[in-house]
């Protein structure tokens, strides 16, 4: 039996979704974030990094969303429904699987940190300075970078209904978390293609089942 170590409001939601798409039975071990939004210490008993997701499959213990999604596709997608076979689309598939966490999520994490500098748990006496610092970094660097990435994604989705071409794939599952975070943290402007893609994934029955099983899903915004 597959086991997902699932942290609320985290990347592990993608693994539940992938398993629902694959129609694979699985168990969920649930963890709740601490008030600091960090993962609980209990996750370190599962894996030394103490992060989620962690997938257990018999003797195998896998971490990192992209690696887990690739493993699930290679192991349980016998009909190759969730990986394109066209050579050009395969390249897109590989790119977006790595781009999500390698290029986009670091910027979004920085955005969250700098948005939070004027709020608790930052000590009260430092919040005014923290807010000014956060706004300055966002204006000088982060917002410009995110605007470039947003337009890059929007342009890609103008030409392709899904991230890896004409068919839904694991690349769409991998991109879901950063896209939802991007929209939640604001400042993206008019992005009809991204919004349409988001509506399409939310309409998938497997996505809806994963949301029901994984619990409330609310990525912090601005």
Each residue's pLDDT tens digit, 140-157: 667 888 999 999 999 999
Output the pLDDT for position 202. Answer: 96
Query: How far is the C-alpha of 91 from the C-alpha of 58, rounded, in Å?
Result: 31
Output the pLDDT for position 133. Answer: 54
Q: CATH class for domain 87-204?
A: mainly alpha
Measured CA distances, 155 to 4, 48, 164, 167, 194 (Å): 34, 39, 14, 17, 9
Output the pLDDT for position 36. Answer: 76
Q: Looking at 52-135, which runs of residues are DSSP E strands? A: 54-57, 60-63
Query: How far is the C-alpha of 105 from the C-alpha of 178, rounded, in Å?
Result: 6
Q: CATH class for domain 2-81?
A: alpha beta
List phi, psi (to 5°) of 63. Answer: -130, 170
Question: Which stretches of the chain score pLDDT less than 50?
Answer: none
Tokens of 116: 């939070």
List phi, psi (to 5°) of 61. Answer: -130, 115
Domain locations in the chain as residue ranges: 2-81, 87-204
Q: Are 24 and 32 in contact (CB under 8 A)?
A: no
Q: Do strands 26-31 and 2-7 pair parallel, antiparallel, or not at all (unpaired)?
A: parallel
Query: How far is the C-alpha of 207 from the C-alpha of 88, rounded, in Å?
Result: 27
Query: How far is the C-alpha of 30 from the C-alpha of 5, rounded, in Å?
Result: 6
Query: How many other CB atoms are found less than 10 A from the CB of residue 20?
Result: 21
Closest CA to 30 of 46, 18, 17: 46
Q: Are 1 and 27 in contact (CB under 8 A)?
A: yes
Output the pLDDT for position 118. Answer: 57
Output the pLDDT for position 109. Answer: 82
Q: Do strands 60-63 and 26-31 pair parallel, antiparallel, or not at all (unpaired)?
A: unpaired
Output the pLDDT for position 78. Answer: 96
The helix/strand/coil state of 49 is: coil
Query: How far is the C-alpha of 191 from the C-alpha of 150, rounded, in Å?
Result: 8
């Amino acid at each position: 039996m597959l086991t997902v170590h699932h942290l609320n409001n985290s990347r592990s939601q993608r693994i539940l979704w992938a398993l629902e798409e694959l129609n694979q039975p699985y168990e969920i071990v649930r963890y709740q974030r601490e008030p600091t939004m960090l993962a609980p210490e209990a996750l370190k008993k599962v894996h030394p990094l103490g992060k989620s997701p962690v997938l257990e499959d018999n003797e195998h213990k896998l971490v990192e969303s992209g690696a887990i999604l690739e493993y699930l596709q290679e192991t349980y997608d016998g009909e190759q429904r969730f990986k394109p076979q066209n050579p050009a689309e395969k390249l897109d598939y590989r790119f977006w699987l790595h781009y999500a966490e390698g290029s986009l999520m670091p910027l979004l994490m920085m955005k969250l940190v700098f948005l939070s500098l004027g709020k608790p748990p930052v000590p009260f006496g430092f919040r005014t300075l923290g807010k000014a610092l956060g706004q300055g970094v966002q204006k000088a660097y982060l917002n410009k970078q995110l605007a470039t990435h947003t337009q890059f994604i929007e342009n890609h989705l103008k030409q392709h209904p899904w991230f890896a071409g004409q068919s839904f794939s694991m690349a769409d599952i991998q991109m879901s978390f950063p896209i939802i975070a991007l929209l939640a943290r604001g400042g993206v402007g008019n992005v009809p293609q991204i919004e349409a893609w988001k509506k399409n994934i939310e309409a998938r029955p497997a996505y809806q089942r994963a949301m029901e099983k994984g619990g409330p899903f609310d990525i912090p915004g601005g």
